[in-house]
Structure 1
């Protein structure tokens, strides 16, 4: 009887298999003719040429970007995670030309619509990134390079078995802390009460952040334009909850 051989240990390529769930599911869907044309004709005016890894919307190995080089100047940088169709960030770009803005979104249709809106508004202080946001904050941007991070109406993943996919977590607090400048701001908003409670609990307990508001909730951020998504939540009778935290 021969000696039993040891079983080989399972290994995996960290670029191919993620070690934690992402907060999105890549959805298909046809873009309009104008969106297709905007996407094809962008030529790097807005969309950053970020190479992806094997996993969906993952950041390719070694991909980095310096905001000063990306925008061609030194200016306070705001990063919006889950920018949707870009209504909030395009408005911000037009209102504050002295600041730079980076919209992070994994849905090409939303990014293409943002390109159309940016062209119509004539803004030049905007860049777009089609990539998983935590990877961009943790690996692509230099530490301490972001002035504000916006997370407005992220997917609530309201089913209990899906809660692990929620973006706001202790690990996200760590990643956001790395990206923000000392004293930088993290702004959040949701129309899902249970998620708002979780966001507040996570960030109240995070040693990297401190509250920038008094009472139960922060006042509505005046720089956030009313979008169709927020209006839909209000029409359904949901309370909009804002939270604002400062990087320690």
Structure 2
């Protein structure tokens, strides 16, 4: 999680993007780059779920791919995931979208050995870094799907199958004309809420106040969710301060957590 977190959906990829679908699931052959027309919401068209970003995989990360990939990498398949088969046990499962270099992911998984963590990231060095942490810390409760999380949500995760969702530091798309590219938008949040079991939680975090305000507004507008706090939530103990976040705090930057529960 060093640096930007959920870039698997809006940036930080080294593979071609997969299209994001509508709540109404448009046809597979719909063009990915069409510009919105009329009053259509930008998420009502096929969007790229991430864009290409360069990155070099280190020798250590490459070794981790070879050593731990066969066990901890899950292939994307357009069919419902068998959680017990994937993790070797039945346990509450938390989805993490875009884990960066895996620092926070490994920390949280170690704190919560009773939970399974399904982690989506397409940035190869980040996947290699998390595999390396899995080996170093002997973590057993993480599985990685190196694929667009939107496809994973749509085709691998049945309704009410998740105990939680983490979306930490998604790309804020600072420029106003790019705000429509932000991940946390009503159609996507509806997908997440639908996959949460009753009592499950959705935890978003950002260091960009305008995005925090958008997150709070969008999640508050989703009827399947309720806020666990009066506005922004205190930082849950399980979410560690990363080097990136500590650096920002020292510079006077704020960090906002938003935690909602499935009704």
How does the TM-score come out when normalised to structure 1?
0.85
- Is the aligned partner of 1:161 residue 2:167? no
Q: CA deviation at 1:16?
A: 7.2
**Structure with max Cα Rg:** 1
Please list every run of 5 or more consecutive structure 1 residues that lacks an aligned counterpart in the other structure.
1-11, 52-61
- Cα contact 2:76–2:152 (8 A) shared by 1: no
Within 2, Cα distance between the matches of 1:68 and 1:16? Answer: 35
Q: Which has the higher contact order (CA 8 A, sep 6+)?
A: 2
Shift of 1:23: 4.7
Please state how far the C-alpha of 1:143 moved relative to its aligned partner.
1.5
Structure 1 segment 1-248 matched on structure 2, within 5 A: 14=28, 17-18=31-32, 19-50=45-76, 62-214=78-230, 216-248=231-263
Tell me by how many angstroms 1:70 deviates. 0.8
Give the distance between the partners of 1:42 and 1:203, measured in 2 at CA.
36
Asked if the contact 2:228–2:261 (Cα under 8 Å) also holds between the matched residues in 1, the reply is yes
How far residue 233 of structure 1 moved from its aligned partner, in angstroms, is 2.3
Query: Could you tell me whether the CA contact under 8 Å between 1:138 and 1:178 is conserved in 2?
Result: no
1:86 deviation in Å?
A: 1.0
TM-score (norm 2): 0.81
**How far apart in 1 are the matches of 2:205 and 2:166?**
9
Q: Which runs of 5+ in 2 are unaligned?
A: 1-25, 33-44
Alignment coverage as a number of residue pairs: 226
- When the two chains are superposed, the root-mean-square deviation of aligned CA atoms in Å is 1.8
Instruction: Give the secondary structure class of the aligned counterpart of 2:203.
Output: strand
In structure 2, C-alpha distance between the alignment counterparts of 1:181 and 1:107, rounded to whole Å: 29
